Structure 1
Amino acid sequence: MSKRVFITGLGAISAIGGDVPSSLASLLARKTGIGTLQNIKTRLAHLPVGEVKLTTNELKTLAGVPANIPHSRTDLLGIIAAKEAVKNAQITDISEFKTGLISATSVGGMSTTEQNWTDYLDESKSGDFLSEIESHEGAYSTEKIADSLGIKAYLNTISTACSSSSNAILLGARLIKNGLLDRVVAGGTDALSKFTMNGFNTLMILDESLCKPFDDNRKGLNLGEGAGFVVLESEKASEGKERLAELVGYANTNDAYHQTASSPTGEGAYLAISETLKLANVKPSEVSYINAHGTGTSVNDLSEGTAIERVFGSKVPPISSTKVFTGHTLGACGGIEAVFSVLAIKNGLIFPNLNFSTPMSELAFKPNLTLLKNQSINFVLSNSFGFGGNTTSLLFSKV
């Protein structure tokens, strides 16, 4: 068993960069990746999104996958980010330690299904597209990522809406601490699709301009796509290599308040944050920065903000939402934002909350508006809150 769990590798791809260095460069330049949709034909193409500006074929080349095996856009984004994380962790022999993969997604291969569904329904053509349709299942992407990494000891797929990849990281840490695995590649991946765009549009929570988290005039979120993975390692597995950060706290709660809306009192978020700090034995005053879930919707920002004030009182630490850069990447957001949280620790950074102008009337705090450099970052709290009240918080510590 391992008492401690370290992050030794990072991998990410999103609208602001095809890897971690380019993502960090965009964050430092305050450069958002949210813009015009290019890769999907839809009546909602006028809505701004955080899209990876590569075609699916270009992603296949970048991922280096076999041409004869079907891969959805979700698979490819995950493979690219997971490979980067493993390389960043300087892992050359995946079998040296008992290694698992826990990958999260909310839509799986939906984008591929949409492209082939009409032909699949045509009996004269359906056989030609059967393998493509099979890639729809969420666990398919986990299998393809595992194949690309050579991981066989343990595979798991998490799908708890927008808290999915944070829960993947949480589960990975628990498996390591209980001695079941020595190393876990954990995170998540999701691609844009008509299904998600139409679904969120039906909920009337998509902003027709750039999202404004924690702004009194916020009108909704911008959807995004991408993948983010971290390599978690035990004390033994991480010996002799750079430990980028330590995962010292985590909690998942569910207030089951509503199918899609967060509770107005922020009960689930309050419990997740409180239990995370309790597990880590860290006082609220010790938290250096909060990477908020911060979607920009009316209900979510109020619920999360209320929960934060319940925990931190009048002394809320610097807080921002990085979804203003990437868009809301759904099941991938916790993985991508875990990468950003570790980057904040390693580089002494607090990222800005772009597009903000008017403080929320219900909250006393306002988000951090400037890029803060050379900060002493000891603990970063990262929140991910999903549909159905499934809420997760992670706490990363400087090593």
Structure 2
Amino acid sequence: MTTRRVVLTGLGVLSSIGNGVEEFTQALREGRCGAAPITLFDSSGFRRTFAHEVRDFEPEQWVRRTPVEELGRASQFSIAASQMALRDAGWTPEDLAERRGLVTIGTTDGEARELDFLIEHEVNEGFAKLDGRAVRRLPAHRLANSVVKELRLPRAVPSVVGTACAAGNYAIGDGLDAVRFGEADYALVGGSDALARRTFAGFSRMGLVASDRCRPFDSDREGLLTAEGSGVLVLESLESAQARGARIYAELLGYGLNCDAHHPTAPDQESVVRCMCIALSNAGVKPGDVDLVSAHGTGTPTNDVTESQAIHDVFGDNPPRTVALKSMLGHSMGAASALGAAASALALAHGFIPPTVNHRTTDPACDLDCVPNQSVEAQLRVVVNNGLAFGGNNASVVLARYEEDRS
């Protein structure tokens, strides 16, 4: 079967450190941290009350054909990030109307904020008075269907991937295959999640929420901070990008997926190793070719040690620099690995490594160069972006700096 080289030509980003590719890039360089007290729901009664919220978001700026009140916050995010990504790629929705497309959005919570609202409404007002609009906003498939509807993409196939915190990478793999094997002319892929009280309560109950900052790989790390956001990538064939003179951020070389079902919450080291090895094999890349790992890096005691040891197992005694973007972005659930892929592509395109911020002392059990606190200039060739989810849903994506001749 003939395969095509697949490149990334557009990025759309909503995050706690900035919206849009320019602001996001600058924030990565500066090492901004988006942690702040929660404002999107009543956090009284919780012992810890910090999270990462998307700020300065006006859905009406991006949602013009669909009544905004018909959309949950996560669907609004996915539409906005898709609009940004297309604009960044130099395409309009009209340009894609006759092209075969794929729209795959990964998520953990779907529209869980609507469920929060409905439960609160039912408690206070009774079941008979439930808001019908909120009920209609609830289905998770709307995260992708709303993009297709809003952008008027009649030949695009929408789907939502619910593989928890690895879902963004799962979506990227879906789009990579569709374009690589000629099943689609373009793909809009990534992840979207909105901050939900239910999810925050769950992580709080497990004792995994940090007091004020997420500190991956740090000896004093306390846990994660929940977050929201969206990252959407435009993928197309190299031939298509060259024909229209598009800017290329990076080339997508391959990906790996596995699901070990080892434990509901605890990662399995051997399975994480296998996932990265599958990705490298699919990409045709040797471990020694990798310059940077964008880690899942949640800042929880178990994840960071397990992932660090898995990285040593794959790359040896001198592994590549390994950064944890959740120190800046928080854990945006299904959007996390999509935002990680976006950051990886920007690092490749602009020649820098974003830092792991809030860092004080590296845990000896992690033993990685996590690029603490300050970004560094670096001409990267290959980056591995990890997403590790509950239930053992693992996904790694391999991105490379675009070179005309990769042979």
TM range (shorter): over 0.9
Q: What CA distance in whole angstroms lies between the structure 2 residues aligned with 1:245 and 1:204?
A: 38
Out of 116, 131, 134, the position equivalent to 1:132 is 134
Q: CA deviation at 1:393?
A: 0.5
Out of 207, 211, 215, the position equivalent to 2:210 is 207
Out of 117, 122, 126, the position equivalent to 2:126 is 122
Q: Helix, strand or coil for the counterpart of 1:211?
A: coil
Q: What CA distance in whole angstroms lies between the structure 2 residues aligned with 1:145 and 1:84?
A: 12
Equivalent residue number for residue 19 of structure 1: 20
Please say which of residues 208-217 and 148-157 is displaced more in the overlay.
148-157
Q: Helix, strand or coil for the counterpart of 2:314?
A: helix
Q: What CA distance in whole angstroms lies between the structure 1 residues aligned with 2:366 and 2:108?
A: 31
Equivalent residue number for residue 59 of structure 1: 58
Q: What CA distance in whole angstroms lies between the structure 2 residues aligned with 1:205 and 1:258?
A: 16
Does 2:68 align with 1:75? Answer: no
Equivalent residue number for residue 161 of structure 2: 158
Identity %: 28
Q: CA deviation at 1:216?
A: 2.0
Q: CA deviation at 1:104?
A: 1.2
Structure 1: which amino acid aligns with 2:343? F
Gaps of 5+ in 2: 403-407
Please say which of residues 116-125 and 30-39 is displaced more in the overlay.
116-125
Q: What CA distance in whole angstroms lies between the structure 1 residues aligned with 2:151 and 2:68?
A: 18
Structure 2: which amino acid aligns with 1:136? L
Gaps of 5+ in 1: none
Q: What CA distance in whole angstroms lies between the structure 2 residues aligned with 1:25 and 1:68?
A: 30
Aligned positions, number: 392
Out of 243, 247, 264, the position equivalent to 1:242 is 247
Q: What CA distance in whole angstroms lies between the structure 2 residues aligned with 1:68 and 1:9?
A: 25
Asked if structure 2 preserves the Cα contact closer than 8 Å seen for 1:188 and 1:229, the reply is yes
Asked if structure 2 preserves the Cα contact closer than 8 Å seen for 1:106 and 1:159, the reply is yes
Q: What CA distance in whole angstroms lies between the structure 2 residues aligned with 1:2 and 1:313?
A: 32
Post-superposition CA distance 1:26-62 (Å, at most 9, x none): 12222211111112112338422111124xxx53223
Q: Helix, strand or coil for the counterpart of 2:141?
A: helix
Equivalent residue number for residue 100 of structure 1: 102
Q: What CA distance in whole angstroms lies between the structure 1 residues aligned with 2:49 and 2:177?
A: 39
Q: What CA distance in whole angstroms lies between the structure 2 residues aligned with 1:312 and 1:261?
A: 22
Does 2:276 align with 1:273? Answer: yes
Q: What CA distance in whole angstroms lies between the structure 2 residues aligned with 1:224 and 1:194?
A: 11
Asked if structure 2 preserves the Cα contact closer than 8 Å seen for 1:256 and 1:390, the reply is yes
Does 2:145 align with 1:146? Answer: no
Post-superposition CA distance 1:77-111 (Å, at most 9, x none): 11111110011111121124211100111111111
Closer, same or farther in 2 for the Cα pair 1:242/1:366, shift >3 Å?
Answer: closer
Asked if structure 2 preserves the Cα contact closer than 8 Å seen for 1:214 and 1:366, the reply is no
Q: CA deviation at 1:64?
A: 2.8
Q: What CA distance in whole angstroms lies between the structure 2 residues aligned with 1:244 and 1:118?
A: 44
Equivalent residue number for residue 405 of structure 2: none
Please say which of residues 146-155 and 25-34 is displaced more in the overlay.
146-155
Asked if structure 2 preserves the Cα contact closer than 8 Å seen for 1:5 and 1:247, the reply is yes
Q: What CA distance in whole angstroms lies between the structure 1 residues aligned with 2:226 and 2:5?
A: 35
Does 2:259 align with 1:254? Answer: yes
Post-superposition CA distance 1:230-263 (Å, at most 9, x none): 0010233323322221100200012221011112
Does 2:338 align with 1:335? Answer: yes
Closer, same or farther in 2 for the Cα pair 1:91/1:207, shift >3 Å?
Answer: same
Q: What CA distance in whole angstroms lies between the structure 2 residues aligned with 1:189 and 1:301?
A: 24
Asked if structure 2 preserves the Cα contact closer than 8 Å seen for 1:314 and 1:364, the reply is no
Structure 1 vs Structure 2 CA RMSD: 1.7
Q: CA deviation at 1:327?
A: 0.3
Greater than 6 Å deviation, 4+ residue runs: none
Asked if structure 1 preserves the Cα contact closer than 8 Å seen for 2:8 and 2:250, the reply is yes
Q: What CA distance in whole angstroms lies between the structure 2 residues aligned with 1:237 and 1:102?
A: 20
Asked if structure 2 preserves the Cα contact closer than 8 Å seen for 1:223 and 1:329, the reply is yes
Q: CA deviation at 1:304?
A: 0.5
Structure 2: which amino acid aligns with 1:105? T
Q: CA deviation at 1:15?
A: 0.3
Equivalent residue number for residue 50 of structure 1: 52
Equivalent residue number for residue 350 of structure 2: 347
Q: Helix, strand or coil for the counterpart of 1:91?
A: coil
Q: Helix, strand or coil for the counterpart of 1:251?
A: strand
Does 2:296 align with 1:288? Answer: no
Q: CA deviation at 1:118?
A: 4.2
Q: What CA distance in whole angstroms lies between the structure 2 residues aligned with 1:81 and 1:145?
A: 10
Q: What CA distance in whole angstroms lies between the structure 2 residues aligned with 1:53 and 1:380?
A: 29
Structure 2: which amino acid aligns with 1:90? G
Q: What CA distance in whole angstroms lies between the structure 2 residues aligned with 1:170 and 1:215?
A: 31
Please say which of residues 211-220 and 62-71 is displaced more in the overlay.
62-71
Q: What CA distance in whole angstroms lies between the structure 2 residues aligned with 1:253 and 1:180?
A: 23
Structure 2: which amino acid aligns with 1:314? D
Q: What CA distance in whole angstroms lies between the structure 2 residues aligned with 1:130 and 1:42?
A: 26
